[in-house]
């Protein structure tokens, strides 16, 4: 190696006066005669140089500061400030020596700006003004070149000429490019010869070999070196890898792998199905390998077609017309393939196409019968008789054996079994009556089946049109609501009528209107035919009276113009109505009668609603009364509490003989006979116990006491009595009074005589009583 030594130079500048050193002196006068004085400059320097990456053991010496005011007696103190002062750079404050304390790197910082001054150590007075100086770091070659990328990716078309640019690489060096050759880089190729080369100055990589073929070798790895010091010995270097790919160009034509392709296909294959697939090989890739297939010739024109599968670059042969083994059993095709994108540069390597032969063999298949037509249309009159043949279909077996065919109708298309077909000759006939007005078209399906193989069948649609026959009479087009005003005039039109007919004559409908013969003699209205399929209903008298007749029925005869002629009698109902002067209807029939009676329809409805509401109230009240009567005295069988039953019945007086029978209390035996429970219906009636009447009491209350005791004893022994205490009230008045009765009727039973003659003196109103009681005894006896 070569040892290069760098010397740090230190320069001291001393400005010495012309006179005595250290003193000021006059140097002359200015233009005004003023004497000039020169101030003393003690010291000044420019810059220091320091070598980077110092590896010595001692501190690296930078330089020395010195002032001419320094007498060497230690009174001067040197101070250093600025970049790195005190850390990177230290100064001896007594003698001004500057040293670097650390290893410095120029690539981190190329120079340092510092300030120096000298002061009196004891008084801190400045002996010199502050001065600025620079410490520059002197560069050494300590950085190798570095590439901007690693690796590089590049491509170049195959078959390129020599010198075709591929890619440019770039390396940088962190060393000082202005000093020496430390940053001067030179490129060279370490790997990749003889295919590629590199420009030493620019780093541009070029092809170095002609006609490099991608199909032979596609990828290349090239190693490029960058070396500083202009490539001299001792320089530092760096490397990078460049991956170079040869891109494809269309320099290879497509080629079939075989000259003859053979395919077998059934004759029953469906149209559009794939017959076979062929493929030509092309060494190129991408769009350069795209091919187009075409049929150049064929002995079955239009039978086949070929398409290109863009994803696989295969030729797909498809069927365009039906195959028939019995007619043609083999087809020959000539197929050509050609590149889609051709590079004119490589025409000399052509032609970029290839041909191959294709043979297609048709195989026999047991096929279903084939109809002569794809569909059939038949016509039949709607009055055709049953078993009439309306047409026929024909199908045959296309195979060589030509089996017989049997026909039938798909009953899903003829649910009513209107039609039938002869099983062997295909004649279609009708089985039921037809009606065009009900259904004008019948669409059925006929099935043809091979007699030896029922699984082979085919179907064909048969469309049957029912032809019209004039078998329907015309009728009114709608239900007419016609009225005539009571004040109508004769020959006044009150209604226009039209007709409809479900038949459809070829020339259109023609209707004729007339009044029925039976009503022509005494008709109140007439029918006037307008000859345009309409007619007018016209009045024949001046006025009508709804009280005499509120509704008229006019028989209108409508006939058509077809053969045979069909006619019908239609009744037009005409109501007699009350109208205003303009002929607008106001009231008709029952409404008019009601209006004359003075009641409107709203009033009648209101009256009817009131009657209904009253009936509902009566029915509800009766139902509630009936429900109350059915309620028992004892509501629950579990209720054994003491109960007091109160009967709030009050007598109606002496003349009320229906409310209460007082004779029952006077005759105790009658109570025994009619005694029964009122709260329940007893299941078994016990025979009444007859007891003798109590003896006459000796006092006024004795008979009552005996009566109550007797009834108490009877209730205690009665098995039908309720199982709880109850209060019974007996209105027993006793056997009689000592004063006897005060009634005049009671005296009639005595033998005493009484005089009633005074009754005849009371006037005519008492004549009846006087006749009954006022007569003599002889009269009464008689």
Residue 474: both structure tokens together? 């015309």
Percentage of the chain with pLDDT > 70?
77
The residues, ordered by sequence, that sit 6+ positions from 322 with a Cβ below 8 Å of its Cβ are 267, 271
Query: Could you tell me the pLDDT band of residue 760, with boundaries at 50, 70 and 90?
Result: confident
Query: Could you tell me the pLDDT band of residue 258, with boundaries at 50, 70 and 90?
Result: very high
CB 190 within 8 A of CB 281: no
DSSP 497-538: EEEE-S---TT---EEEEE-GGGTTT-SEEEEE-SSSEEEEE
Query: Could you tell me the pLDDT band of residue 292, with boundaries at 50, 70 and 90?
Result: very high
pLDDT for 107 equals 76
List pLDDT tens digits, range 625-674: 887 765 554 544 445 444 555 555 555 555 555 544 555 555 555 445 44
List pLDDT tens digits, range 496-518: 999 999 998 988 899 999 999 88
In terms of Cα–Cα distance, which of 516, 540, 514 is closest to 527? 514
In terms of Cα–Cα distance, which of 495, 714, 505, 683 is closest to 585? 495
Strand arrangement, sheet containing 165-168: 165-168, 204-207, 196-198
CB 138 within 8 A of CB 178: no
pLDDT for 178 equals 74
Instruction: Quote the CA–CA distance of 70 and 95 in Å, as a whole number.
Output: 9
Mean pLDDT is lowest, of 24-33, 73-82, 151-160, for 24-33
pLDDT for 42 equals 43
> How far out from the chain centre does Cα 11 lie?
95
The residues, ordered by sequence, that sit 6+ positions from 429 with a Cβ below 8 Å of its Cβ are 387, 388, 389, 390, 419, 420, 421, 422
Q: Of 17-31, 92-106, 490-504, 596-610, which has the strongest mean pLDDT? A: 490-504
Which is higher by pLDDT, 94 or 680?
A: 94
Mean pLDDT is lowest, of 201-210, 224-233, 585-594, for 585-594
Query: Could you tell me the pLDDT band of residue 3, with boundaries at 50, 70 and 90?
Result: very low
CB 559 within 8 A of CB 535: no
pLDDT for 309 equals 94
Residue 21: both structure tokens together? 């050193």
Which is higher by pLDDT, 156 or 6?
A: 156
Which is higher by pLDDT, 717 or 324?
A: 324
Mean pLDDT is lowest, of 61-70, 504-513, 514-523, for 61-70
- Tell me which CATH homologous superfamily contains domain 475-587: Cadherins (2.60.40.60)
Backbone torsions φ then ψ of 81, nearest 5 degrees: -135, 165
Q: Could you tell me which CATH number the domain at 4-16+36-138 has?
A: 2.60.40.60
Instruction: Quote the CA–CA distance of 278 and 345 in Å, as a whole number.
Output: 29
3-class SS letters over 740-764: CCCCCCHHHHCCCCCCCHHHHHCCH
pLDDT for 627 equals 77
Chain position carrying tokens 């079939």? 256
Residues of the chain with CATH 2.60.40.60: 4-16+36-138, 146-247, 259-363, 370-467, 475-587
3-class SS letters over 89-118: EEECCCCCEEEECCCCCCCCCCEEEEEEEE
Helix, strand, coil % (nearest 5) of the chain?
A: 15, 35, 55
> Does domain 146-247 bear CATH number 2.60.120.700?
no
CB 439 within 8 A of CB 466: yes
Chain position carrying tokens 């880089």? 185
CB 223 within 8 A of CB 239: yes
Q: Does 12 score more than 70 pLDDT?
A: no
pLDDT for 79 equals 86
Architecture of domain 370-467: Sandwich (2.60)
Backbone torsions φ then ψ of 125, nearest 5 degrees: -85, 140
pLDDT for 191 equals 92
Q: Does 523 score more than 50 pLDDT?
A: yes
> How far out from the chain centre does Cα 578 lie?
62
Instruction: Quote the CA–CA distance of 474 and 241 in Å, as a whole number.
Output: 104
Backbone torsions φ then ψ of 602, nearest 5 degrees: -60, -40
Average pLDDT of span 711-739: 67
Instruction: Quote the CA–CA distance of 248 and 159 in Å, as a whole number.
Output: 9
| pTM, two decimal places | 0.42
- Left (φ > 0), alpha (ψ -120 to 50) or beta: where does 473 sit? beta
Residues in the chain: 782
* Average of per-residue pLDDT values in the chain: 80
Helix 601-629 crosses helix 590-597 at what angle (to 10 degrees)? 80
Q: Does 114 score more than 80 pLDDT?
A: yes
pLDDT for 738 equals 56
Mean pLDDT is lowest, of 322-326, 424-428, 501-505, 719-723, for 719-723
Percentage of the chain with pLDDT > 90?
45
- Tell me which CATH homologous superfamily contains domain 259-363: Cadherins (2.60.40.60)
């Amino acid at each position: 190696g070569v040892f290069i030594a760098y010397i740090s130079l230190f320069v001291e500048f001393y400005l010495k006066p012309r006179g005595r050193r250290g003193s000021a002196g006059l140097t002359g006068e200015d233009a005004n005669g003023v004497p000039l004085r020169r101030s003393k400059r003690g010291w000044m320097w420019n810059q220091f140089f320091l070598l980077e990456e110092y590896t010595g053991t001692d501190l690296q010496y930078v330089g020395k500061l010195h002032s001419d005011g320094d007498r060497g007696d230690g009174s001067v103190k040197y101070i250093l400030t600025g970049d790195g002062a005190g850390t990177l750079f230290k100064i001896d404050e007594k003698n001004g020596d500057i040293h670097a304390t650390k290893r410095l790197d120029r690539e981190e910082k190329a120079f340092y700006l510092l300030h120096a001054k000298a002061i009196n150590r004891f008084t801190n007075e400045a002996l010199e003004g502050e001065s600025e100086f620079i410490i520059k770091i002197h560069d050494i070659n300590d950085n190798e070149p570095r590439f901007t990328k690693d690796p590089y990716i590049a491509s170049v078309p195959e078959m390129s000429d020599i010198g075709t640019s591929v890619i440019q690489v770039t390396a940088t060096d962190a060393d000082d490019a202005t000093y020496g050759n430390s940053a001067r880089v030179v490129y060279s190729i370490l790997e990749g010869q003889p295919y590629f080369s590199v420009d030493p100055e620019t780093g541009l990589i070029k092809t170095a070999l002609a006609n490099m073929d991608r199909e032979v070798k596609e990828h290349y790895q090239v190693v490029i070196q960058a070396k500083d010091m202009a490539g001299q010995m001792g320089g530092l270097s760096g490397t990078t890898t460049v991956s170079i790919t040869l891109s494809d160009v269309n320099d290879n034509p497509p080629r079939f792998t075989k000259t003859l392709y053979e395919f077998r296909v059934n004759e029953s294959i469906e149209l559009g199905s794939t017959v076979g697939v062929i493929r030509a090989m092309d060494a190129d890739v991408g769009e350069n390998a795209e091919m187009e297939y075409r049929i150049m010739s064929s002995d079955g024109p239009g039978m086949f077609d070929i398409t290109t599968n863009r994803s696989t670059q295969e030729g797909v042969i498809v069927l365009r017309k039906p195959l028939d083994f019995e007619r043609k059993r083999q087809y020959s095709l000539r197929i050509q393939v050609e590149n889609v994108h051709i590079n004119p540069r490589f025409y000399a390597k052509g032609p970029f196409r290839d041909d191959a032969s294709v043979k297609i063999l048709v195989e026999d298949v047991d096929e279903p019968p084939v109809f002569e037509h794809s569909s059939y249309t038949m016509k039949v009159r709607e009055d055709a008789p049953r078993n009439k043949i309306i047409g026929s279909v024909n199908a045959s077996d296309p195979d060589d054996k030509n089996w017989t065919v049997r026909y039938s109708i798909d009953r899903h298309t003829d649910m009513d079994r209107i039609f039938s077909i002869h099983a062997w000759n295909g004649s279609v006939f009708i089985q039921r009556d037809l009606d065009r007005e009900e259904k004008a078209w019948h669409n059925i399906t006929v099935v043809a089946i091979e007699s030896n193989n029922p699984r082979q069948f085919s179907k064909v649609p048969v469309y049957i049109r029912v032809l019209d026959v004039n078998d329907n009479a015309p009728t009114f087009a709608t239900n007419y609501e016609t009225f005539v005003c009571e004040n109508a005039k004769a020959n006044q039109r009150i209604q226009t009528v039209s007709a409809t007919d479900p038949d459809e004559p070829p020339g259109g409908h023609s209707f004729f209107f007339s009044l029925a013969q039976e009503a022509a003699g005494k008709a109140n209205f007439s029918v006037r035919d307008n000859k345009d399929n309409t007619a007018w209903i016209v009045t024949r008298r001046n006025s009508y009276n709804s009280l005499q007749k509120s509704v008229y029925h006019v028989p209108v005869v409508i006939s058509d113009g077809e053969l045979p002629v069909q006619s019908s009698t239609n009744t037009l109902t005409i109501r007699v109505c009350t109208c205003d002067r303009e002929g607008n209807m106001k009231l008709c029939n029952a409404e008019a009668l009601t209006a004359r009676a003075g009641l409107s329809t709203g009033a009648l409805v209101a009256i009817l609603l009131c009657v209904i509401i009253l009936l509902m109230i009566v029915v509800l009240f009766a139902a509630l009364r009936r429900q109350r009567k059915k309620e028992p005295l004892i509501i629950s069988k579990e209720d054994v509490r003491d109960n007091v039953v109160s009967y709030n019945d009050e007598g109606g007086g002496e003349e009320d003989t229906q409310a209460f029978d007082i004779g029952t209390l006077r005759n105790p035996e009658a109570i025994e006979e009619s005694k029964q429970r009122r709260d329940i219906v007893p299941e078994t009636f016990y025979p009444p116990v007859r007891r003798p009447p109590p003896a006459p009491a000796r006092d006024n209350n004795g008979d009552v006491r005996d009566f109550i005791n007797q009834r108490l004893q009877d209730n205690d022994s009665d098995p039908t009595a309720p199982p709880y205490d109850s209060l019974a009230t007996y209105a027993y008045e006793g056997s009689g009074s000592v004063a006897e009765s005060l009634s005049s009727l009671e005296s009639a039973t005595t033998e005493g005589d009484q005089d009633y003659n005074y009754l005849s003196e009371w006037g005519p109103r008492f004549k009846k009583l006087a006749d009954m009681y006022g007569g003599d005894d002889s009269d009464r006896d008689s």
